[in-house]
Amino acid sequence: MKRNKTNTLAYPDAFIAGRLGIRNRMLIQLALLVAFILSLVWVCQIAMLMGFYESYRSSQVREAAHVILQNIDHDDLEELADRISAENEVCMLMVDEGGEELLSIDHVRFCLLHRMKKRELQALMERTPQDGTEIVERTSVAPFRNENYHPEVFEGEVPVDQASSGRNMIYSRKVFFEDGSAGYLMINAQLTPTKTIRSMLKRQFLFIFIFIAVTTAVIGFMMAESISRPIIETNRAARALSWGEYTRPAWGGGYREIAELNDTLVQAADDLKRVEDLEKELIANISHDLRTPLTMIQGYAETMRDIPDEMNPENMQVIIDETHRLASLVNEVMEFSRLRAGGQQLTLSEFDLTETVKTICQRVGAMTEKDGYRVICQAEESHMVRGDPARIEQVVYNLLGNALTYTGEDRQVILREEEQEKTVRVSISDSGKGIAPEELPYIWDRYYRTKESHRRAVIGSGLGLNICRSILESHRVNYGVDSVPGKGTTFWFELGKA
């Protein structure tokens, strides 16, 4: 059956409309991911910069104060405070309850603590909790004016505001000494103006944005191309399956999943081609089987019409036998078609398998004995099994017919019935040429025949094996075939004991 190669696979317009390809979809998704990451960087580095910075400085000041409190009565406290102040860029002031200095470290230009007036310092001490808890305040310092600076006389983008110490963080806590006296520990940390840092980060962000955008576009296109190209080529090649051809694409092995898909499509193409060949062979074989009895019926009928002396019981019997063969072939083809459509219904019951097997052997033996065939039945004890008696008879008939068709020169077929632990096995053996090992997995397939040239069935139509397979699988029983080339073949199946 030749397929029309112009009949390519067509998709409904509604199915394709508005759908993006893999390449475009990947590029869009990658662009969205990069946009999200850059937005997150913008928010964290620029929009929330001051909040993060103040939180970090607050933690830094608290840690410095904690170290001072741990060593509050140490003789070298001033050296420790000087090192901490220099490292953390803070200034420290410790006073007693009367406001007299006990410790003064000034490492910050324009330190707010050291510029406070006595009444401002006293007010800070009064705001500090007396239970030893801390307070942290943020305040701005008025600018230190330079009367000689006039921004309007300069050109370009010059600072409008005069220099100032900016925002400050004041830490204050009441401390207690070993001698029972108390005092106050104060720390000043300047919050460096972030205008310069923010401007620098904006320029850096612009550079990062351009670099990431270009890099993402290049890498994204390469990734999309490497992923989409094998799929696109596989899709193009898969269209050839409509006429049973498939060629593995050159890029198909780049990914394991694509390679597996190509292997599956190659196997599907091989299967389609094999089924098509077997279908052609089946049609040819059935045509041959139909033509033979029709030719004999026509020939004998014309002979009996033209020669009155030839109208005798023997010739009439030939016509009747060939008519029965023709009817059997047609019925088996119809049965095959019905089984393929899933129309098989089983009538399960308990029956005597041994009696059924012996009866079939006697009938088939009587039918084939005149042609020199011999059917040997080796079934001794009676075995009750559960199944559909009519269907099991059909299986035995078909397997016997297949064995008689392909048996050897001795024209002998042996049917054995053997009891297993929970089942009864029926096996039918011939002495023919056997089946090649590579053909055994396909022997039950529909349309399949071995590579041996077509032979007219002694009984049946030659469709029996696939019909047997359908019946046995509907019974959900074990079945199989064993063959040794040159020595013969054995088909077998098992039924559960009643």
Residue corresponding to tokens 């007693």: 96
CATH classification at residue 274: 1.10.287.130
d(CA 50, CA 192): 10
Q: Say whether both 223 and 295 belong to one domain.
A: no
- The secondary element (H helix, E strand) that includes residue 391 is helix 389-406
Q: Is the pLDDT of residue 92 over 50?
A: yes
- State the DSSP code for 106: -
Q: Nearest Cα to 90, choosing from 197, 204, 187, 214?
A: 187
Q: How many CA atoms lie within 13 A of 246 on its CB side?
A: 22
Task: Give a yes or no: residue 143 inside a domain.
Answer: yes
How many domains does the structure of the chain reveal? 4
| Structure token digits, residue 153 | 């006389």
- The secondary element (H helix, E strand) that includes residue 134 is strand 134-140
Task: Give a yes or no: residue 251 inside a domain.
Answer: no
Q: Which residues pair with 483 in a beta bridge?
A: 489
- What mean pLDDT is predicted for residues 416-422? 91
334: pLDDT confidence band, cut at 50, 70 and 90?
confident
d(CA 428, CA 483): 12
Q: With contact defined as beta carbons under 8 Å apart, do 130 and 107 qualify?
A: no
Q: Say whether both 48 and 109 belong to one domain.
A: no
DSSP assignment string, 38-73: HHHHHIIIIITHHHHHHHHHHHHHHHHHHHHHHTTT
Q: With contact defined as beta carbons under 8 Å apart, do 470 and 394 qualify?
A: no
Q: Is the pLDDT of residue 11 over 80?
A: no
Whole-number Cα distances in Å, 63 to 66, 78, 96, 136, 460: 5, 17, 22, 13, 99
Q: With contact defined as beta carbons under 8 Å apart, do 51 and 57 qualify?
A: no
End of a domain among 299, 321, 343?
Answer: 321
Task: Give a yes or no: residue 78 inside a domain.
Answer: no
Q: Which residues pair with 496 in a beta bridge?
A: 423
Task: Give a yes or no: residue 246 inside a domain.
Answer: no
pTM: 0.44
DSSP assignment string, 268-297: HHHHHHHHHHHHHHHHHHHHHHHHHHHHHH
CATH classification at residue 356: 3.30.565.10
d(CA 237, CA 214): 34
Q: Is the pLDDT of residue 415 over 80?
A: yes
423: pLDDT confidence band, cut at 50, 70 and 90?
very high
Q: Which residues pair with 96 in a beta bridge?
A: 183
Phi/psi of residue 448, nearest 5 degrees: -80, 140
Q: Say whether both 101 and 161 belong to one domain.
A: yes
End of a domain among 321, 342, 362?
Answer: 321
Average pLDDT, the chain: 80
8: pLDDT confidence band, cut at 50, 70 and 90?
very low
The SS3 call for residue 371 is helix
Domain that holds residue 277: 256-321
Q: Say whether both 367 and 427 belong to one domain.
A: yes
Q: Is the pLDDT of residue 177 over 60?
A: yes
161: pLDDT confidence band, cut at 50, 70 and 90?
low
Q: What's the CA angle centered on 155, arms 152 and 159, to 5 degrees?
A: 60
Phi/psi of residue 27, nearest 5 degrees: -65, -40
Task: Give a yes or no: residue 326 inside a domain.
Answer: no
Q: Which residues pair with 167 in a beta bridge?
A: 140, 191
Q: Say whether both 208 and 186 belong to one domain.
A: no
Q: Say whether both 40 and 96 belong to one domain.
A: no
CB atoms within 10 A of CB 310: 13
Q: Say whether both 357 and 480 belong to one domain.
A: yes
Q: Nearest Cα to 189, choosing from 237, 141, 146, 149?
A: 141
Based on the number of CB atoms within 10 Å of its own CB, is 113 exposed (0-12), middle (13-18) or buried (19 or more)? buried
Q: What's the CA angle centered on 102, arms 96 and 103, to 5 degrees?
A: 130
Q: Say whether both 288 and 430 belong to one domain.
A: no
- What mean pLDDT is predicted for residues 137-166? 65
Q: Say whether both 183 and 203 belong to one domain.
A: no
d(CA 93, CA 78): 11
d(CA 372, CA 174): 123
Name the CA radius of gyration of the chain, rounded.
Answer: 50
Q: Nearest Cα to 165, choosing from 214, 95, 111?
A: 111
Based on the number of CB atoms within 10 Å of its own CB, is 117 exposed (0-12), middle (13-18) or buried (19 or more)? exposed
pLDDT of residue 455: 54
Q: Is the pLDDT of residue 485 over 60?
A: yes
- pLDDT above 70 as % of the chain: 80
- What mean pLDDT is predicted for residues 476-487? 91
Q: Say whether both 175 and 281 belong to one domain.
A: no
Task: Give a yes or no: residue 81 inside a domain.
Answer: no
Q: Say whether both 395 and 473 belong to one domain.
A: yes
Q: Is the pLDDT of residue 199 over 70?
A: yes
Task: Give a yes or no: residue 7 inside a domain.
Answer: no
412: pLDDT confidence band, cut at 50, 70 and 90?
very high
Which pLDDT tens digit goes with each residue over 15-52?
Answer: 454 566 777 777 888 888 888 888 888 887 777 777 78
Task: Give a yes or no: residue 76 inside a domain.
Answer: no
Q: Say whether both 123 and 229 belong to one domain.
A: no
Which pLDDT tens digit goes with each residue over 98-119?
Answer: 888 999 998 777 788 888 888 8
Q: Nearest Cα to 378, choosing from 358, 352, 407, 401?
A: 358
End of a domain among 275, 291, 321?
Answer: 321
